[in-house]
Amino acid sequence: MTAVMEQGAPSRTAELALRTRGLTKLYGAQVGITDLDLDVSTEEVFGFLGPNGAGKTTTIRMLLGLIRPTRGEATILGTPLRPGPVGARADLGYLPGDLALYDRMTGEQVLHYLASLRGGVPAQRYRDLAERLGLDLTRRVRDLSRGNRQKVGVVQAFMHWPRLLVLDEPTSGLDPLVQVEFGRLVREAVDFGATVFLSSHVLAEVEQLADRVAIVDGGRLLVVDTVDGLREKATKRVELDFPGSPPPELGSAPGVRELEVRGDTAVCTVAGPVGPLMAVAVRYGLLDVHTHDPDLEDAFLGYVAGGTR
């Protein structure tokens, strides 16, 4: 069974917005997600990452009570969620990855209808959000571009001041300026006490917004850590210039996982401190060093590729 590293975990005394224990969904012999244990604190932006088919959408659908787990449990805002009564879902804002809207309605009509289902949201609230995102509410949904349809989805998720936002690929199709405004919406929501559960393929976005990140792959949880913690554990790329051919001894230095020789330059992939590698390199006339600081993408690729598992 895959060992899961859980760093930067919320305090035991912190109120949890979301908690899962042994959450599992099996589709016959196929694994959707298995034995998922998560603790997400209130007023936290929690990134949920994984490649296609990793189990992210299955997890979200179970958290929302849209599908039943095979086993395990989930608690959201202190309430166990199951298919059926609305319960705590009234305090949720959800943006699905496969957003479907009423094509014949205008944006205004869609948002008014969804607001009425929630017991009423001031029209000025969703109009203000639409203005911030540059969304024309007078146009029919069928005439909107993919990006503008996504804006309707963002507005409906945020408009009722939810205590928990569950966002699946929220910036898909949005242009860079709108993505910046989306980031402001997330931060404002957290400042007002909301929690954000963010699933996204845009790793730079998660890196900027998330307090902690979980990475899943193959239906299993691989790691939970802070963004800074993941960066520290990520592999680093170090380029070493020599007066001649790089020595093959570099490949056996502690922490070196890969060694590629490009003329007089050695390109090393290193896990952990680079000091041992440098100690070997200086013995062979090292001329120059170029380093690539790891980011969340490096950490993500390292875990999913199996390097850290």
Amino acid at 23: L
Higher pLDDT, 126 or 54: 126
Q: What is the pLDDT of residues 198-253, one digit of tens each?
A: 998 778 888 889 999 999 988 999 989 888 888 777 677 899 999 999 999 999 99
Q: What is the mean pLDDT of residues 35-40?
A: 96
Secondary structure, 3-state, the chain:
CCCCEECCCCCCCCCEEEEEEEEEEEECCEEEEEEEEEEEECCCEEEEECCCCCCHHHHHHHHCCCCCCCEEEEEECCEECCCCCCHHHHHEEEECCCCCCCCCCEHHHHHHHHHHHCCCCCHHHHHHHHHHHCCCCCCEHHHCCHHHHHHHHHHHHHCCCCCEEEEECCCCCCCHHHHHHHHHHHHHHHHCCCEEEEECCCHHHHHHHCCEEEEEECCEEEEEEEHHHHHHHCCEEEEEECCCCCCHHHHHCCCEEEEEEECCEEEEEECCCCHHHHHHHHCCCCCEEEEECCCHHHHHHHHHCCCCC
Q: Under CATH, to which class is 5-231 assigned? A: alpha beta
- Please check the confidence at residue 272 and state whether its pLDDT lies above 80: no
pLDDT of res. 257: 85
Q: What is the mean pLDDT of residues 40-48?
A: 96
The whole-angstrom separation of Cα 26 and Cα 184 is: 37
Rounded to an integer, what distance in angstroms lies between the CA atom of residue 73 and that of residue 37?
9
Mean pLDDT of 61-80: 90
Q: Of 7, 23, 119, nearest to 73 (Cα)?
A: 23
Average pLDDT over the chain reads 87
The residues with which 231 forms a beta bridge, in sequence order, are: none
Residue 75: pLDDT over 50:
yes
Q: Which residues of 110-129 are buried (b: 16+ CB within 10 A; e: fewer)?
A: bbbebbeeeeebeeebbbeb
Answer for the pair 66, 55: CB distance below 8 angstroms, yes or no.
no
CA 56 – CA 37 distance, rounded (Å): 13
Write down the domain spans for the chain. Answer: 5-231, 235-293
Higher-confidence residue of 129 and 305: namely: 129
Structure confidence by residue, pLDDT tens digits, 165-179:
999 999 989 999 999
User: pLDDT (tens digit, 9 = 90+) per residue, 94-115?
Assistant: 999 889 999 999 999 999 999 9
Q: From the CA atom positions of the chain, what is the Rg in Å? A: 23
- Structure confidence at residue 263 (pLDDT): 95
Contact present, 35 and 216 (Cβ < 8 Å): no
Whether 50 has a pLDDT exceeding 90, the answer reads no
Distance in angstroms (rounded) separating the CA atoms of residues 216 and 29: 19
Residue of 92, 68, 67 whose CA lies nearest to 78:
92
pTM of the model: 0.78
CA atoms of 136 and 65, how far apart (whole Å): 32
Polymer length in residues for the chain = 309
Contact 168, 126 (CB under 8 A): no
Q: What is the pLDDT of residues 133-157, one digit of tens each?
A: 999 999 999 999 999 999 999 999 9
Residue 9, C-beta contacts closer than 8 angstroms, at least 6 positions apart: 39, 224
> Given phi > 0 = left and psi -120 to 50 = alpha, else beta, which region is 22?
left
Per-residue pLDDT tens for 180-199? 999 999 999 999 999 999 99
